[in-house]
Structure 1
């Protein structure tokens, strides 16, 4: 491998690692604050909160979710050629696009809140939370442009820091506002004759207020970074002497032509969630299930199950975001060897995290639900146990989606997502109608959708890149290490829970057994991955804290 390739290689994985670590930290902060938030607003409040978010997310997908990826792709392609002025025009054109789409989306959501929540999703009280979220669509659209711009320049640090700051502000404001508005909702409910409903609805609105505040903080931060960097960027533009600079019409055309396939792909890819909610709630009511029970089940699904599943999926999302500009640059430079290398590395990185998270959550499903949400219902733990496998499928499909976009195969993920969505909806109807699986039908259908997307996308990646995945290092080694880890974690948990519960409450016993078994699992997995040759010194050095990890491995004689 050339020195240039090695440099690009290391930079690619390190940038991905930075964004991945930021995403993991953000998701952990998100998980932590959801514990007191859930304790305040309850399962019904989680339903209102989740419903508002489902509508917000789908409008966000349509209006601006694809902007960061499209901007990073276009900026990266122009910077690779030294066309700095054209990269600056991409930024300006994207900002105009963001103002138009984000502003329009905010107005549609605010004035259409009652229609979306009441008529479509049968959860009218969540309109309060949705209206609070509406202005965030404009803020996030502009924020996405700046994040995409910096990612296209090859640095993930502004995105990473702003992401963590956004989530911390979100956490603090959400918990405080939820408590204040929950109390206010009780008073409103007392007057209107629905104390529980309005308390939960206003509490959920407090939670969404945190999202708006966090996004505003992140935007202020990245704009500060941009203005601090502007002088340096102006000097870079002055050195750009290339002729035939692109006009704004060309830039806007390129931006729209890049955004549309990404938009279609991400929309189809993510729309399954809101379709699931519509099918599940309407079908369950038709089957005669209690409305409150339906609301609570969906509250657990969105407020507990999905929050947990999304923590490891942050790795795949971060790697996909870092893969696109890196692969685009390598692809446009006709560096086939680097393209293949990066595809293998990205898959390996994601699987090293996804497999142990999948096994760990399935083995400790009920204990984790009890530890984090004080939820001892068997049905809640069963959700996580059944759906844990989707972590691997979603991780691979999310990453491969980004890889295909980096290879300029923009329409393939759209076609694959459409195929998977049709199959997913048909499968969900079958599980609801024939087997009457209630909320478990949604979880199984989601795993099936992710599996199908994973297979279709990965097949396309291998076909168009010419890459060959190292099955042993990418899949078999983390699978074997995770299986061994799962057995040890289960045994340690059962042994400790049994011993501690003799002299302490079940909550204390569960806490001690969970913490110790997770620590034991991390140690077993690390050692096993080295023994099974899943990672080597070169790979460890490219991870955050790689020097320390290698030092530990050498001291244990696991590396030679």
Structure 2
């Protein structure tokens, strides 16, 4: 009985850590939206286009220098802690830190000095070079930060990562707005002197990216402080271990590279798909006779408004993925098949509980959301969100299934699946851009095709890896029914309040009511079992409140 209780506690443990990280992720996404709204007003659609171009290149560079480090370090540390190899766990951390400093510095220098050539010849957007140069030092900072975050995640705590993310985003928001406002004036003055209006938004975009670098530095300072507080524990871990043999640093580097490489490749394909989208879009639109200001503005809407909203629910998927990898790795290390299946089921279930209602909400009130956040009543941004909303479900599912495969030690599988999906994606994009002339909507639909392909291929791979068969009713059908009820109520409530009050207040009230209706619908349709509610953070308290309210 005690063993069974312990297993249940362990199976829900990663959900609590995931919830901590997800909460931080949601807070940072909300802050991100909050500051992106005034930032978009300051820099304009052209500026957001340059901002988006720079960030796509930065994302690729970040991927090469540091993106895979938290995952690799957490995976390697958790595997050694599960076997009681505490000294080897700390050796992994120290080795990764040296690796991050070397690679992070190299990539920073390449991007910093090569920004002009990359912007002009690769991205066909020369004015994005200012933003890219500003972003370059952030690559070194984030590389070090990634290793420290990965170490704490491998030790089973997501709190340092969560708090550092919030600090990073708050600093980012403040500095971005201040720097964008100041540099817009500088750029406008230069634009008048050189008779080119694009200098204003280009300089403003560079100011917006400055917040990213300063914010990352703020997050790093906090993590170094936590690490200093944790130094006694780390000293104990470094004591000679007579039971377990020390791994050489050479061996650790080899294992780390073999762990990092597949993660880099699979995530690179995700990021490359976005860079290719922008490259193909820019060149094809230019060939079709559109002015640079026109297609850069469309990409500004895509990256600054549409993508920002699509990425908000992905915070939950990213957090669950980050928490399940060390947890799954530990279960695989000891061969606990029951725990493996339980963790996979809970990870996908909780990701869908957020993704499906988000998709429904975007479909039902796309235009009011765009007006609420950006004051944008144009049809194009609303249509993009309505059409692309389903991407939330597919990207959330593909994100957690990628993490599950990595936790199952199927490191190269997401790479193969992403490569196949990218091929399908590019063919579809070219057809829609050249023959159908769908404009910016071609990118939206191509992303749906890419993410759906990833979901199908990953589901098949998970079954082959551990024999897990996806359950559909509790994970997809019932949450969809609850979301449909929420969607109908939201639409009616918004129309009613729009007639009575109108404006943004009507949208805010509709969203608040939507959350309540969805929560009640989930409970009434028995989407979650009592055991699953109990495994959530403060689950017992939530369960008791639900019973008192006769919702169960």
Contact 2:87 2:240 in 1 (8 A): no
- Which of 152, 155, 159 is the matching residue for 1:153? 155
Pairwise CA distance, 1:458? 1.5
- Which of 163, 166, 169 is the matching residue for 2:168? 166
Contact 2:85 2:244 in 1 (8 A): no
Q: How far apart, CA to CA, are the structure 2 residues paired with 1:241 and 1:345?
A: 38
1:409-428 → structure 2 map (5 Å cutoff): 409-428=410-429
Q: How far apart, CA to CA, are the structure 1 residues paired with 2:71 and 2:243?
A: 26
Aligned counterpart, 1:557: 550
Instruction: Map Cα deviations across residues 356-394 of structure 1 (whole Å, 9 max, x no partner).
Output: 001001111111111111111101100000000000000
Contact 1:428 1:445 in 2 (8 A): yes
1:548/1:518 CA distance change after superposition, 3 Å? farther
Aligned counterpart, 2:527: 534
1:45/1:544 CA distance change after superposition, 3 Å? farther
Pairwise CA distance, 1:290? 2.9
Aligned counterpart, 2:64: 62
Aligned counterpart, 1:467: 468
Instruction: Map Cα deviations across residues 193-215 of structure 1 (whole Å, 9 max, x no partner).
Output: 12x31111111111110000010
**SS state of the match for residue 235, structure 2?**
helix
Question: Normalising by structure 1, what TM-score?
Answer: 0.96
Aligned counterpart, 1:504: none
1:246 corresponds to 2:250: no
Aligned counterpart, 1:439: 440
Q: How far apart, CA to CA, are the structure 1 residues paired with 2:99 and 2:491?
A: 52
Flag structure 2 segments of 5+ consecutive residues without an equivalent: none
Aligned counterpart, 2:298: 297
Contact 1:49 1:205 in 2 (8 A): yes
Aligned counterpart, 1:111: 113
Q: How far apart, CA to CA, are the structure 2 residues paired with 1:176 and 1:555?
A: 49
**SS state of the match for residue 134, structure 1?**
helix
Aligned counterpart, 1:346: 347
1:60/1:452 CA distance change after superposition, 3 Å? same
**SS state of the match for residue 135, structure 1?**
helix
Aligned counterpart, 1:27: 29
Pairwise CA distance, 1:499? 2.4
Aligned counterpart, 2:45: 43
**SS state of the match for residue 408, structure 1?**
coil
Q: How far apart, CA to CA, are the structure 2 residues paired with 1:547 and 1:518?
A: 27
Aligned counterpart, 2:316: 315
Q: How far apart, CA to CA, are the structure 1 residues paired with 2:260 and 2:364?
A: 40
Contact 1:82 1:240 in 2 (8 A): no
Pairwise CA distance, 1:266? 1.1
Pairwise CA distance, 1:76? 0.6
Q: How far apart, CA to CA, are the structure 2 residues paired with 1:363 and 1:239?
A: 61
Pairwise CA distance, 1:238? 2.8
Contact 2:285 2:295 in 1 (8 A): yes
Q: How far apart, CA to CA, are the structure 1 residues paired with 2:240 and 2:24?
A: 33
Q: How far apart, CA to CA, are the structure 2 residues paired with 1:462 and 1:521?
A: 35
Pairwise CA distance, 1:162? 0.3
Aligned counterpart, 1:198: 199
Q: How far apart, CA to CA, are the structure 2 residues paired with 1:61 and 1:239?
A: 35
Q: How far apart, CA to CA, are the structure 2 residues paired with 1:265 and 1:101?
A: 19
Pairwise CA distance, 1:538? 2.6
Aligned counterpart, 1:126: 128
Aligned counterpart, 2:78: 76
Pairwise CA distance, 1:400? 0.4
Contact 2:90 2:237 in 1 (8 A): no
**SS state of the match for residue 457, structure 1?**
helix
Question: Normalising by structure 2, what TM-score?
Answer: 0.98
Q: How many residues align?
A: 550
Contact 2:370 2:377 in 1 (8 A): yes
- Which of 520, 525, 531 is the matching residue for 2:518? 525
Aligned counterpart, 1:283: 284
1:179 corresponds to 2:172: no
Aligned counterpart, 1:216: 217
Contact 1:70 1:255 in 2 (8 A): yes
Instruction: Map Cα deviations across residues 522-554 of structure 1 (whole Å, 9 max, x no partner).
Output: 111111111111023332233345355334422
**SS state of the match for residue 239, structure 2?**
helix
Q: How far apart, CA to CA, are the structure 2 residues paired with 1:543 and 1:372?
A: 31
Moved more, 286-295 or 272-281: 286-295
**SS state of the match for residue 520, structure 1?**
helix
Pairwise CA distance, 1:513? 1.5
Q: How far apart, CA to CA, are the structure 2 residues paired with 1:232 and 1:374?
A: 51
**SS state of the match for residue 375, structure 1?**
coil
Pairwise CA distance, 1:245? 1.3
Moved more, 238-247 or 108-117: 238-247
Aligned counterpart, 2:12: 10
Moved more, 117-126 or 270-279: 117-126
Instruction: Map Cα deviations across residues 400-426 of structure 1 (whole Å, 9 max, x no partner).
Output: 001000000011000000000011000
Moved more, 199-208 or 232-241: 232-241
Aligned counterpart, 1:505: none
Instruction: Map Cα deviations across residues 108-139 of structure 1 (whole Å, 9 max, x no partner).
Output: 11111111111111211110011000000000
Pairwise CA distance, 1:92? 1.3
Pairwise CA distance, 1:82? 0.9
Contact 1:312 1:391 in 2 (8 A): yes
Flag structure 1 segments of 5+ consecutive residues without an equivalent: 501-508
Pairwise CA distance, 1:148? 0.4
1:284/1:471 CA distance change after superposition, 3 Å? same
Q: How far apart, CA to CA, are the structure 2 residues paired with 1:156 and 1:367?
A: 35
Pairwise CA distance, 1:95? 1.1
1:91-102 → structure 2 map (5 Å cutoff): 91-102=93-104
Contact 1:117 1:124 in 2 (8 A): yes
1:546 corresponds to 2:539: yes
Q: How far apart, CA to CA, are the structure 1 residues paired with 2:137 and 2:505?
A: 43
